[in-house]
């Protein structure tokens, strides 16, 4: 019985000692200037305009690195920002990593210019260097498909791209190409056109790639088969 009591006292004593040491270490870590944040780096900002960037840095700098938490809501006021991460680089550096939405193309619709992103968002922007225009409302599904198409277009001198409800039109020099929003179908036709047909025809003024496996060059049908 006495042995059991002695063992219990020893265990309690060890636990109290561990807690005391732990508490002392934590207190030292929190009070030590060694862990005071002196460097705050915000990375990944290309298109976003973080309001109050200086305030964010001021709120973090000078605090103990173990006490740092990030209010992500202040970042998501900017439409460009997709994700935010906080990284602590011990002993005294905090890095805020900004992940932005990836721009696909700029377009003008109804007198207002937007940057369409691969996430399917339309973000208002300036009208500088606009080449894509729409005179009617295009469905988000078609815009997403066109974003994938836009990546593969290999024209050096695109003057203008007109987006219509059911098809799009590319004007490059004196050449005009018409395509559909079915990205797989268009890509297949476009690869044939780019890799084969441009070599077969001396002068191409018009190409219609709207129908799968059928390409009209200057009004004449080229049919795969």
Name the residue with higher pLDDT: 23 or 116: 116
Whether 180 and 188 have beta carbons less than 8 Å apart is answered as no
Q: Is residue 112 over pLDDT 80?
A: yes
Residue 188: predicted pLDDT: 92
Is the same domain home to 112 and 211?
yes
User: How many residues are there in the chain?
Assistant: 225
Is the same domain home to 93 and 202?
no
- Stretch 163-171: mean pLDDT: 95
pLDDT band at 126 (very low <50, low <70, confident <90, very high): very high
Is the same domain home to 119 and 211?
yes
Q: How many domains does the chain have?
A: 3
- Stretch 27-54: mean pLDDT: 79
Give the domain-ending residue among 43, 73, 100. 100
Is the same domain home to 118 and 212?
yes
Residue 26: predicted pLDDT: 58
Distance CA 142, CA 73 (A): 31
When the pLDDT of each residue in the chain is averaged and rounded to a whole number, the result is 86
Largest CA distance in the chain: 106
Q: Is residue 47 over pLDDT 80?
A: yes
Beta bridge partners of 85: 97
pLDDT band at 101 (very low <50, low <70, confident <90, very high): very high
pLDDT band at 100 (very low <50, low <70, confident <90, very high): very high
Spatial strand order in the sheet of 39-43? 39-43, 93-100, 81-89
Distance CA 59, CA 68 (A): 9
Q: Residue 214 has what DSSP assignment?
A: E
Q: Is residue 24 over pLDDT 80?
A: no
- Stretch 46-54: mean pLDDT: 78
CA distances in angstroms from 141 to 35, 96, 120, 145, 146, listed in the order given: 50, 33, 9, 6, 9
Name the residue with higher pLDDT: 74 or 196: 196
Two tokens at 79? Answer: 């439409």
User: Can you give the residue range of the structural domain that contains 68?
Assistant: 34-100
Q: Is residue 198 over pLDDT 90?
A: no
CB atoms within 10 A of CB 4: 8
Two tokens at 72? Answer: 């992500």
- Stretch 171-190: mean pLDDT: 92
Torsions phi, psi of 104, nearest 5? -105, -55
pLDDT tens, position by position, 63-84: 988 888 887 777 778 899 999 9
**CATH number for the domain harbouring residue 58:** 3.10.20
Distance CA 179, CA 183 (A): 9
Give the domain-ending residue among 75, 100, 125. 100
pLDDT band at 99 (very low <50, low <70, confident <90, very high): very high
Distance CA 131, CA 136 (A): 16
Q: Is residue 25 over pLDDT 70?
A: no
Residue 21: predicted pLDDT: 56
Distance CA 59, CA 35 (A): 16
**CATH number for the domain harbouring residue 162:** 3.40.50
């Amino acid at each position: 019985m006495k042995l059991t009591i002695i063992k219990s006292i020893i265990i309690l004593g060890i636990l109290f000692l561990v807690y005391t040491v732990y508490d002392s270490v934590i207190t030292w870590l929190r009070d030590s200037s060694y862990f005071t944040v002196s460097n705050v780096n915000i990375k990944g900002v290309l298109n976003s305009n973080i309001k109050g960037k200086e305030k964010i840095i001021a709120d973090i700098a000078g605090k103990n690195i173990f006490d740092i938490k990030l209010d992500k809501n202040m970042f998501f006021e900017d439409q460009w920002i997709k994700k935010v991460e906080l990284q602590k680089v011990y002993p005294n550096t905090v890095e805020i990593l900004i992940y932005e939405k990836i721009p696909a193309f700029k377009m003008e619709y109804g007198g207002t210019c937007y940057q369409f992103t691969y996430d399917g968002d339309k973000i208002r922007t300036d009208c500088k260097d606009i080449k894509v225009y729409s005179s009617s409302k295009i469905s988000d599904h078609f815009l997403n498909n066109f974003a994938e198409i836009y990546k593969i277009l290999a024209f050096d001198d695109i003057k203008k791209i007109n987006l219509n409800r059911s098809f799009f039109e590319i004007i490059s020099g004196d050449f005009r190409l018409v395509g559909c929003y079915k990205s797989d179908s268009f890509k297949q036709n476009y690869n044939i056109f780019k890799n084969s047909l441009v070599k077969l025809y001396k002068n191409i003024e018009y190409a219609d790639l709207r129908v799968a496996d059928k390409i009209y060059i200057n009004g004449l049908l080229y049919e795969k088969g």
